[in-house]
Structure 1
Amino acid sequence: MLLTVYCVRRDLSEVTFSLQVDADFELHNFRALCELESGIPAAESQIVYAERPLTDNHRSLASYGLKDGDVVILRQKENADPRPPVQFPNLPRIDFSSIAVPGTSSTRPRQPPGTQQSHSSPGEITSSPQGLDNPALLRDMLLANPHELSLLKERNPPLAEALLSGDLEKFSRVLVEQQQDRARREQERIRLFSADPFDLEAQAKIEEDIAQMTIMSQACAERCNIMRLVDRRWAGIAKGVGTQKIIGRVHLAQVQIEGDFLACSFSILEEQPMDMLLGLDMLKRHQCSIDLKKNVLVIGTTGSQTTFLPEGELPECARLAYGAGREDVRPEEIADQELAEALQKSAEDAERQKP
């Protein structure tokens, strides 16, 4: 049977791969295969299926209910006592993935395991939330650990370039700038969450975020039988003109477009009127482009394309412009009228909220 493995490493990097195994394959052998593909030691791996961790290494995959086409999650366990590099036996392991690159999206940082240490020196830099308060020490640790250095090159090229330049002052400056930039973005995020939902600036930012996020309605998720894959730790409230509950997030599922099966992740919204909205996150992942001349969506990773449906061919659930007693009105006129009504209502609501 073919199983898809969604892997999350300790540094928050993600990778997806597929394995062809027998149903009577034991779990400890499956862990070994995953180690070859992901690089995560079998002893540090935690395999989760249907929100339930698989713990008995001598049970077969079929005994856990796994079947052909299923998706499992492989997480790297937090190491309570990380093994430091040989050259620096007294130093803690640091999660460098939490250093965000300016101008790009970043993942919420997690505190690295182990006790944070502070160091006093004449060139000491103000202590950061991640405990990276000694650039010289950090530079030596990176240069002594090829794995961490390669990870830094992949996830943070500007900092890696400053490190390899050999200029400690330049490395320190880039490090501090990135930490300060991330702190500013975190403050902006907190301000946005506490902003008045009728504030025009807040609405613009929320709309921009939603456009970048792939979402699916709860009703559609139930029809597709993927509610068992929802990670409810990602639950929350989407605020805009009104509010909408976010049930959780599906980290990995396949979406078929024409003959292609694309790996996608999306947030599940409770009252979303449309079944699914493909956001910029997935469009970028699969290098999609919209050709307005041909009226098609081109999938760059596979080279295939699919035609956009005209209004008359849309399924009933997708015809937002239709309603009872409006069959005699052209779709273009209905869409224009509803857009004008929505704009007028939004302006009236914003006017009422003014002091």
Structure 2
Amino acid sequence: MLVTISFDPEVFQIEIKPEDSVASLKETLEGVSGIPVQQQLLIHNGKELASSSTMAASSVQEQDLIVLGRRPQAPQQQQQQAASSAADPQQARMQAAMRTRPDGSLENVQEFIEMARQNLPMLSGLPAPLVQAINKNDPEELQRIFRQIHAHREAEAKERQAEMELLSADPFDPEAQARIAERIRQAQVEENYQNAYEYMPESFSQVTMLYVDMEVNGHKVKAFVDSGAQTSIMSQAAAERCSIMRLVDRRFAGIARGVGSAPILGRVHSVNAKIGSQHLPMSITIMEKGPDFLFGLDMLRRYQCNIDLKDNVLRFSVQPEVALPFLHEHELPEAVRFEMQQAEEAQKASGSGVAPAPQAGGAQKPSDAAAAAGAAAAARAASAPGMSLTPGPTPSVQAPQQAPPPSRAAVPAPSDDGDEKVKRLMALGFDRQQCMEVLAACNGNEEHAASLLFEMGGGLGF
């Protein structure tokens, strides 16, 4: 049968037989807990299990809880340990330096400081605040830290004692069962963490995003390679630096919606890009804000690129083949390096083993990094025909060529005919505000609006 052993702070299960003796269980638990058989205290349903009894005689049944603790030492045993330690002068001196008062402070703080300085292994095993106080020879700070440690341990001991009493009182209580399940889960998480830290330590390091060097219209840019973005995107600022704003087709203006939203200014249908030694034409969507240059899936497929992480290069299937090396961390754009540094500092401050990956930010100033990251998230949703808000067939209306589509706050109330169109679009499963906005952007063309709504609602990859 399977029973649960609670050995603070661990909880685990062990297979035993009804005819097994409590003594044999203690021998098994000695190897697990490190507590000698003579010092083990096994509690079942609020009563101590006798070593001479069997599991069946002690009424231990399937899935029962047994709490393992350490039996308090008798005064004679304590005296024997003190006598054995007195035979070793170094051990006796260390014990004297570690003696504390009831509030947790040291009885002889200066002796402890000298002892720690002379014992380098002891110094390296202490927490960082204690080491700093010892190096500064600051007895007051050292005593304050020891009092804090003592108070923290006292609070934890009271919490554990209350939990043990609750578990021992009624193991079948729903609250007790929930606590047991949570402790088992925490033990599994900790074991999983230790295994990952031992066998996959690289998973706790920060991953550098994939950037390559390119030239667009003769101007150098650092391109963020993103196979999750359907369209290659460039920010307005980068497009102005590359002198391609004059080629923007504003009929493809609109709004990219993903985690956030960002205006699409239009598209440059073909621009010369230098990839290594090759000159290749590229189609780029221009956004008001976002990454300097996001090299998306459309161009990756166009040139049958291979993201080769073994050789750390981006391969283009052209003749002759071009292999662009991915940039190292120090070569990334300033905003990206700034975000990585912030994420690393946040990771150290929180003690977490995992840091969030930085968003593509381009070469904006560090103060603009957060805004650029939000725009980059919206930029990933930009797709060629599906996300482009083009002017409708009404020849007298040219607004989409002059300015971006109206924002949500600027959408006019629909007329009676427009209201009917909105209702029919809402019947397709979209909300009213979204239908009004897209219908206005399409100049009242219901068919174009429906097509655009379906494109925006599905298959965008965000």
TM-score using structure 1 length: 0.33
The structure, 1 or 2, with the larger RCO (C-alpha pairs under 8 Å, 6+ apart) is 2
**Is the helix fraction higher in 1 or 2?**
2
TM-score by length of 2: 0.26
